[in-house]
Amino acid sequence: MPYPREHREAKKQQLIRNARTLFNRKGFEAVSIDEIMSNAGLTRGGFYTYFKSKGELYALAVGHALVEPPSSRWKTVSVDFTATDAARQVIRAYLSQEHLDDIDGSCPMVSIPSDVARSDATVKRVFEKVFEGMVELFEDSLRFEQRADRDRALTLSALCVGAMVIARALDNPRLAGELRNAAMRLALDLGGWTNSPGPLRKRKTSSRSILWIRDCEGFS
């Protein structure tokens, strides 16, 4: 007797969540289909009833980060993406100690960029969508303040991601902390967000940047 559709979908989502954790911990190449399936209490034979390939699952796992942004897991760091100072909050959260420590739930741009570079076009497109969403979030903030500057938004995104990639690779926690703090100071200064914000107001967030923080069509 076949399982009801709801059970199958729940199991698929479990596989995607588990795979995201495994990929964040080990990278794409080091995680086997056997490990993915056994982690969910299933056999390898059932994998292809859910996914066409490990690459497709990888893309879905990266997309899952859009539905559940890292900051939703943290206790002392949070982000209100509708606030006028959302960009400031994102920089502080992204370069926080909690993000550095949260390997399982980390932003995929920090955990798996080298694997993405070796992956197929499907995975690269999803990764690109995550990055584009981050860039547009910074663009939105600069535009809201009448300081629209795409080059600055691109640089801010690269600075945040690059600093966390290197900090995660360092064995010396003091050096990693110095790097994160330096990157945070420079990013806030580059964005013009070093001074405390005025009264906070809600602002409209663009459709692309909201993908980075909440949802991604086809991956929810």
- Tell me the per-residue pLDDT of 121-141, one tens digit each, with 9 for 90 and over: 777 887 888 889 899 999 999
Q: Give a yes or no: residue 187 inside a domain.
A: yes
pLDDT range class, residue 211, cuts 50, 70, 90: very low
Q: Give a yes or no: residue 177 inside a domain.
A: yes
Residues 60-81 have a mean pLDDT of 68
Q: Give a yes or no: residue 95 inside a domain.
A: yes
Given a cut of 90, whether residue 59 has pLDDT beyond it is: no
Residues 30-44 have a mean pLDDT of 89
Residues 37-58 have a mean pLDDT of 88
Residues 192-202 have a mean pLDDT of 61
Q: Give a yes or no: residue 122 inside a domain.
A: no
For the domain that residue 146 is a member of, what is the CATH number? 1.10.357
Q: Which of 4-13, 25-34, 93-102, 202-211 is predicted least confidently? A: 202-211
Q: Give a yes or no: residue 80 inside a domain.
A: yes
Per-chain mean pLDDT for the chain: 81
Residues 146-169 have a mean pLDDT of 95
Token pair of 28 as six digits: 């794409």
Q: Which of 126-130, 134-138, 173-177, 206-210 is predicted least confidently? A: 206-210
pLDDT range class, residue 219, cuts 50, 70, 90: very low
Q: Name every residue whose Cβ is closer than 8 Å to that of residue 126 and which is 6 or more positions away in sequence.
A: 59, 62, 63, 216, 219
Q: Give a yes or no: residue 48 inside a domain.
A: no
pTM, entire model: 0.75
Residues 160-164 have a mean pLDDT of 95
**Domain that residue 172 falls in:** 73-114+133-213
The domain tally of the chain equals 1
Q: Which of 56-65, 66-75, 131-140 is predicted least confidently? A: 66-75
Asked if 105 contacts 73 with a C-beta cutoff of 8 angstroms, the reply is: yes
Q: Give a yes or no: residue 37 inside a domain.
A: no
Q: Give a yes or no: residue 5 inside a domain.
A: no
Q: Name every residue whose Cβ is closer than 8 Å to that of residue 93 and which is 6 or more positions away in sequence.
A: 70, 71, 74, 77, 78, 79, 99
pLDDT digits (tens, 9 = 90+) for 100-124: 998 887 777 887 777 777 777 777 8
